[in-house]
Amino acid sequence: MIAIIDYNAGNITSVARALQNIGQDFVVTDNTKKLDAASHVIFPGVGAAGEAMAYLREKKLDVWLKSYFKTGKPLLGICLGTQIILDYSEENETCCIGLIAGSTKRFPEKLTSEGEFLKIPQMGWNNIKLLRSHPVFENVLPDAEFYFVHSYYPAPADDEAILGITEYGITFCSVLAKNNLVAMQFHPEKSGRPGLQILKNFCAWRLS
């Protein structure tokens, strides 16, 4: 069973619709017993790190996520659900979950590309460069573009955790991967066929 963690974080409905689109059964819940029964867990989210972490702590979902990660079962982070799996976020100066060592940083002010100022947040389509292969990105073309909406980005302490990078004034980590965890700054559920392929791959991902 696929479970989507419900923590009042915005894009849960669009993730659910994407799973319906690929014919995948799922449950949306903040009940840890129901989450325990899941074979795969999706941790989505849009919004502010401080507010999200307050809700997660109230429901003890931060502790549950640490426990789930240790089980070795597949875990997918999306957008805010990627940023707050690190130790700390510059947004609201928030202590986060700490599944991966590192911090979430804000884009620099006066971000430029080819002499032109870039808008913050980055909002729109961009590509990623995978640094190695991964089952969740199988059958996704190298030139595929994905939908981003963010002012912050993950910066893991260990480069080995970086699976994909993206250019937006700077080169930043857009995809993290460690063991049974893969997490992306972009929104696969809003990224058309390539995004749906990622979700389909995740739901089929089995670790030995």
Whether a cis peptide bond, with omega within 30° of 0, leads into 142 is no
Task: Quote the Cα angle for 113-189-57, to 5°.
Answer: 95
3-state secondary structure the chain: CEEEECCCCCCHHHHHHHHHHCCCCEEEECCHHHHHCCCEEEECCCCCHHHHHHHHHHCCHHHHHHHHHHHCCCEEEECHHHHCCCCEECHHHEECCCCCCEEEEECCCCCEECCEECCCCEEEEEECEECCCCHHHCCCCCCCEEEEEECEEEEECCHHHEEEEEEECEEEEEEEEECCEEEECCEHHHCHHHHHHHHHHHHHCCCC
pLDDT in tens, 13-35: 999 999 999 999 999 999 999 99
Percent of the chain whose predicted confidence (pLDDT) is above 70 = 100
Domain 2-204 annotated CATH 3.40.50.880? yes
Inform me whether the pLDDT recorded for 115 exceeds 90.
no
pTM of the predicted structure, to 2 decimals: 0.96
- Please give the average per-residue pLDDT across 138-157, as a whole number: 97
- Measure Cα distances from 90 to 10, 13, 48, 95, 174 in Å: 20, 27, 11, 9, 17
pLDDT for residue 208: 65
Sorted by where each begins, the domain ranges of the chain are 2-204
- Please give the average per-residue pLDDT across 53-70, as a whole number: 96
Inform me whether the pLDDT recorded for 161 exceeds 70.
yes
pLDDT for residue 112: 84
Active site residues: 79, 187, 189
pLDDT for residue 36: 96
